[in-house]
């Protein structure tokens, strides 16, 4: 299948590697402006591929791995995706949060995508790691090896000093920002917008109805100045952020997406941290009998945990492309799209 990767950032690099590694996919284009002219292989930390990053998407594609950011441009990202679907290309992307659970997406967003998928005869899958497999297929799968389940908790535990996204770390997550100002990521209703779909998908898979979705936020100030690759984070500003998005069933907290984020490992030592002391982990805890705890510690790009997590998100998407090509045209969620084993890669 002729595949293009659109985007050259963290997810774009991981997407290039995942496409190149897939025996059924051929990387024919990489789209981006800031890295225009660079070799796509070199950009992704591979041997040169003889394929230069170009500003425009070519025609005749079977699939587009859309890794351009949709964070501050969800409408533009949805328009790009619509165009690709209408041209008949399968699209996989992590970039539009309200489409992770298409069932609960606003009709104004979903409608044009449905039409384009039908007209082009193509399928769309929007997913990632968290939101993504860390709070959809993996926890749901693990409930299948439990006798009783009283709660499903999905944790992302990260030291963001190693996350190559200074803008997101400071402005969205609020690290180094004033304690009297709520960061955008945890402004009321934002966590539910990003992770609510994950709770709804888990609830559907487990056959329960959510009464409501609640948000809980806790923040910690830095006791002293911290300096890292992103510069200075001053004493007294935010150094830790912990929040939960909770799915309430019959009045009880049954499904939880929890994020524990620090700008340095010393912040909030009483909060959960990766068991091996590393910079990041995803952990699923199935409370019940037996109690089940599974931790995923992925690394990439020189041992970096954030890059490792992004690489799993990219692989989940890219590995779904052959299944999506054979699926009926339309929008698919993580419960529809099977986790494809690494056939032909060993």
Residue numbers at the binding site for ligand NAP (CB under 6 A): 7-12, 32-35, 67-71, 73, 94-95, 128-132, 165, 310, 313
Nearest distance from C-beta of residue 97 to ligand NAP, angstroms: 7
Q: Which is nearer to ligand NAP, 12 or 278 (CB)?
A: 12
Strands (E) across 181-251 are located at 212-221, 226-228, 231-233, 238-249
In angstroms, what is the minimal distance from the CB of 273 to ligand NAP?
A: 20
Q: Which is nearer to ligand NAP, 35 or 254 (CB)?
A: 35
Least distance in Å: CB of 295 to ligand NAP?
17
CB nearer to ligand NAP: give 153 or 329: 153
Residue 313 or 321 having the CB closest to ligand NAP: 313
Q: Measured between alpha carbons, how far is 73 from 37 in angstroms, rounded to an integer? A: 25
> Least distance in Å: CB of 67 to ligand NAP?
5
Q: Smallest distance, Å, CB 123 to ligand NAP?
A: 19
Q: Any bridge partners for residue 238, and if so which?
A: 221
Q: 10 Å Cβ neighbour count for 178?
A: 13
What 3-state class would DSSP assign to 190? helix
Closest residue to ligand NAP: CB criterion:
9
Closest distance of CB 284 from ligand NAP, Å? 15
User: In the bound complex, what is the minimum distance in angstroms from residue 95's beta carbon to ligand NAP?
Assistant: 4
For tokens 């890292």, what's the residue?
A: 228
Please report, for residues 65, 68, 104, 214, the alpha-carbon distance to residue 111 in angstroms, rounded to integers and kept in the order given. Answer: 21, 22, 12, 28
- Confirm if 239 and 262 have CB atoms less than 8 A apart: yes
With respect to ligand NAP, which residue has the nearer C-beta, 268 or 316?
A: 316
Q: Which two tokens stand for residue 184?
A: 């955008």
Closer of 161 and 310 to ligand NAP (Cβ):
310
Q: Exposed, middle or buried by CB within 10 Å (0-12, 13-18, 19+), for 344?
A: exposed
Residue 11 or 257 with smaller CB distance to ligand NAP = 11
Peptide bond into 290 cis (omega under 30): yes
Q: Where are the alpha helices (DSSP H) in the chain?
A: 10-21, 40-43, 74-86, 107-120, 137-143, 166-167, 190-206, 305-318, 321-326
């Amino acid at each position: 299948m002729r595949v293009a990767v659109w985007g050259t950032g963290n997810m774009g690099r991981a997407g290039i590697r995942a496409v190149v590694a897939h025996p059924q996919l051929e990387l024919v284009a990489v789209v981006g402006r800031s890295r225009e002219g660079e070799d796509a292989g070199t950009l992704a930390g591979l041997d040169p591929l003889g394929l230069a990053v170009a500003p425009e998407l070519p025609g005749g594609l079977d699939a587009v791995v859309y890794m351009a950011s949709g964070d501050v441009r969800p409408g533009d990202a949805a328009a790009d995706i619509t165009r690709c679907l209408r041209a008949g290309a399968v699209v996989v992307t992590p970039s539009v949060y309200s489409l992770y659970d298409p069932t609960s997406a606003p009709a104004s967003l979903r409608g044009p995508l449905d039409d384009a998928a039908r007209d082009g005869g193509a399928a769309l899958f929007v997913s990632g790691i968290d939101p993504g497999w860390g709070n959809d297929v993996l926890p749901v799968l693990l409930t299948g090896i439990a006798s009783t389940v009283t709660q499903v908790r999905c944790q992302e535990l990260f030291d963001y000093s190693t996350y190559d996204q200074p803008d997101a770390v400071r402005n969205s997550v609020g690290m180094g920002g004033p304690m009297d100002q709520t960061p955008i990521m945890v402004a009321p209703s934002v966590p539910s917008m990003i992770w609510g779909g994950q709770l709804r998908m888990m609830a559907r898979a487990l056959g329960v109805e959510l009464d409501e979705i609640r948000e809980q936020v806790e923040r910690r100030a830095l006791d002293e100045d911290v300096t890292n690759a992103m510069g200075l984070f001053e004493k007294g500003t935010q150094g830790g952020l912990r929040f939960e998005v909770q799915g309430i069933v019959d009045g009880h907290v049954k499904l939880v997406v929890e994020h524990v984020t620090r700008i340095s490992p010393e912040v909030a030592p009483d909060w959960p941290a990766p068991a091996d002391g590393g910079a990041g982990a995803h952990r699923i805890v199935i409370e019940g009998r037996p109690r089940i705890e599974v931790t995923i510690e992925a690394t990439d790009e020189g041992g970096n945990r954030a890059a490792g997590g992004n690489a799993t998100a990219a692989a989940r998407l890219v590995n779904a492309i052959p299944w999506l090509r054979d699926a009926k045209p339309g929008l698919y969620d993580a419960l529809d799209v099977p986790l494809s084993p690494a056939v032909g890669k060993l």
